[in-house]
């Protein structure tokens, strides 16, 4: 099976539309979404509608922004721009899309013999940014392969004979044949708000038969995304960061 794996769309319809253009000629059977359909961006309804209508979507785990959007009173755990976006999203989402977010399961979810989650298989709010955090995930799970999101940074952590290592994926095309005797934590990066200094959206395709991943970076019309954010009255920081990939 070939899976398209995406994460952290964050109401960015332009980036999601560019993704669909990019994968139109790529072969995959199912789509896995690692959470955060909403938050930050000004087109959450359009994003949810597009995802809901795609019959190839196999599983979506909820992200922290998805969760906080539907649970009033929990947004005070966020920074001010993120909180403002949550309040705006909650007010502007169609009722059917609010209900849809409520149905999203908390990760981790098991697909074949691998896991998908938002932040960490231990806690959806945790970031995996270092070998220390990766080690904690490895020792608390048994699966050899885990896909996660939340940090918006494409990266890979490995565990081989109790040795932990990690690296950022900086290439705009990256292919890796996975090893059966190595454990992996893999982040596909973000569709809607990249944070690794590259404004291009990021996604990957996982081939479970060939046991390989291929990561791609794609351009999108971030100026239109910025325009929609500012027209919605959302914090300007949420618009300006997109062109810098921060």
The CATH number of whichever domain residue 134 belongs to comes to: 3.60.21.10
Domain that residue 17 falls in: 2-243
Query: Which pTM was predicted?
Result: 0.97
The pLDDT of residue 189 is: 99
Tell me if residue 237 falls in helix, strand or coil.
helix
Are the C-beta atoms of residues 156 and 166 closer than 8 Å to each other? yes
Three-state SS annotation for 124-176 = CCCCCCCHHHHHHHHHCCCCCEEECCCCCCCEEEEEECCEEEEEECCCCEEEE
The pLDDT of residue 162 is: 87
Structure tokens at 92: 């502007």
Could you tell me which of 246, 193, 202 has the C-alpha nearest to residue 222? 193
Structure tokens at 67: 């969760």
Q: Which residues face 31 on adjacent strands?
A: 4, 57
Task: Report the C-alpha gap between 23 and 134 in whole angstroms.
Answer: 30
Torsion of CA 17, 23, 25, 31, to 10 degrees: -120
The pLDDT of residue 14 is: 99
Regions of the chain where pLDDT drops below 70: none
The pLDDT of residue 128 is: 98
Task: Report the C-alpha gap between 50 and 245 in whole angstroms.
Answer: 24
Quote the number of domains for the chain.
Answer: 1
């Amino acid at each position: 099976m070939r899976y398209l794996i995406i994460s952290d769309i964050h109401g960015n319809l332009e980036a999601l539309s560019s993704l669909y253009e990019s994968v139109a000629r790529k072969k995959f059977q199912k789509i896995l979404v690692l959470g955060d359909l909403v938050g930050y961006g000004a087109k959450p309804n359009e994003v949810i509608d597009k995802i809901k209508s795609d019959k190839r979507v196999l599983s979506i785990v909820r992200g922290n922004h998805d969760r906080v959007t539907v649970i009033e009173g929990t947004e005070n755990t966020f920074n001010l721009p993120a909180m403002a976006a949550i309040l705006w999203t909650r007010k502007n989402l169609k009722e059917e899309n609010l209900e849809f977010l409520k149905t999203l399961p908390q990760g981790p979810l098991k697909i074949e013999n691998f896991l998908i989650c938002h932040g960490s298989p231990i806690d959806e709010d945790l970031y995996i940014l270092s070998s220390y955090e990766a080690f904690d995930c490895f020792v608390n799970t048994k699966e050899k392969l885990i896909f996660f999101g939340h940090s918006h940074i494409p990266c890979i952590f490995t565990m081989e004979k109790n040795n932990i290592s990690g690296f950022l994926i900086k290439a705009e095309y990256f292919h890796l044949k996975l090893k059966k005797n190595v454990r992996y934590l893999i982040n596909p990066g973000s569709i809607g708000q990249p944070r690794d200094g590259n404004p291009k959206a990021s996604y990957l395709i996982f081939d479970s038969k060939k046991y390989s991943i291929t990561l791609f970076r794609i351009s999108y019309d971030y100026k239109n995304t910025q325009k929609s954010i500012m027209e919605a009255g959302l914090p300007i920081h949420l618009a300006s960061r997109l062109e810098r990939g921060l």
